[in-house]
Amino acid sequence: MHALVVDDDDFLRFMLVRTLHDLGCESVDDSPTAAAGLRLATARKPDLAVLDLDLGRGPTGIDVAYGLRKAHPDVAIVILSSYSDPRLLGANRELPEGGVYLSKREVGDVSVLQNAIAEVLAAPCGRRTGAPVANISGRRLSDNQVEIMRLVAEGFSNSEIARRRHLTDAAVEKAIARLIKQLALSPGREDNARVLITQAYFALIGSTQVRRD
């Protein structure tokens, strides 16, 4: 079996190549960029591609996966990411059919990667539940909610979010109110709803704990 690894971090890539060899891959190509990774795939068709979601500027791992699938429709895809939900990165594109999405934290346990690889190789384009979705107390956050959270965290005001999302100011205001309700955050006199949403966003991507003091 031939595998391809695309990750912009040298050490993580080295680790993934080593782990894939240990898991029984005969040959593994690796690349720090999307462009070089796609060139490698053109030269030698991979059976399995392990792709980092956040490759810095330019295409995401999901974009690369679509590019690979165009040339090799039956390549098995595993996407790795620090984000628990790809929408939190703003990569608002569905995973390609049959792709599996793994959190990098989980890969600390090699058996998780092993199981994922076995799953995608068994049926590279099989139907799967798709990427994990951010949820609060079991309630799924909608695409619109995730995007509004992300934009609030990126420092945009209501009107600016409204322009970007092609919504009215009132609709954004309502969406933020609903988010606050769903996140079970109650802005007190001293709190700012936006600060709470930003905190919740960073808590969801795993960067901080929600500060409640």
Whether the CB-CB separation of 48 and 68 falls below 8 Å is answered with no
194 CB burial (10 A radius; 0-12, 13-18, 19+)? middle
Q: Are strands 139-140 and 135-136 parallel, antiparallel or unpaired?
A: antiparallel
Selected from 1, 9, 142, 167, the binder of another protein by CB under 8 A is 9
Give the per-residue contact string, 174-203, with another protein (x = CB under 8 A; - = no).
Answer: x-----------------x-xx--xx--x-
Q: How far is the CB of 211 from another protein (least distance, A)?
A: 6
3-state helix, strand, coil in the chain (%, to 5): 45, 15, 40
Q: Does 84 bind another protein (CB under 8 A)?
A: no
Q: Which residues pair with 28 in a beta bridge?
A: 3
Whether the CB-CB separation of 151 and 82 falls below 8 Å is answered with no
Q: How far is the CB of 73 from another protein (least distance, A)?
A: 15
Phi/psi of residue 79, nearest 5 degrees: -105, 130
Selected from 2, 72, 165, 178, the binder of another protein by CB under 8 A is 165
Chain-centre distance of CA 176, in angstroms?
23
Tokens 């799924």 -> residue: 140
Selected from 4, 5, 20, 34, the binder of another protein by CB under 8 A is 34
Q: Strand, helix or coil at 125?
A: coil
Q: Does 119 bind another protein (CB under 8 A)?
A: no
Which range in 52-60, 115-123, 127-135, 177-185 contacts another protein by CB under 8 A?
52-60
Query: What span, in angstroms and rounded, lies between the C-alpha atoms of 147 and 91?
Result: 10
Q: Does 135 bind another protein (CB under 8 A)?
A: no
By CB under 8 A, the count of residues binding another protein is 58
Selected from 137, 166, 184, 188, the binder of another protein by CB under 8 A is 166
Residues binding another protein (CB under 8 A)? 9, 11-12, 14-15, 18-19, 22, 33-39, 54-59, 63-64, 66-67, 82, 93, 104-105, 107-108, 110, 153-155, 157-160, 163-166, 169-170, 174, 192, 194-195, 198-199, 202, 205-209, 211
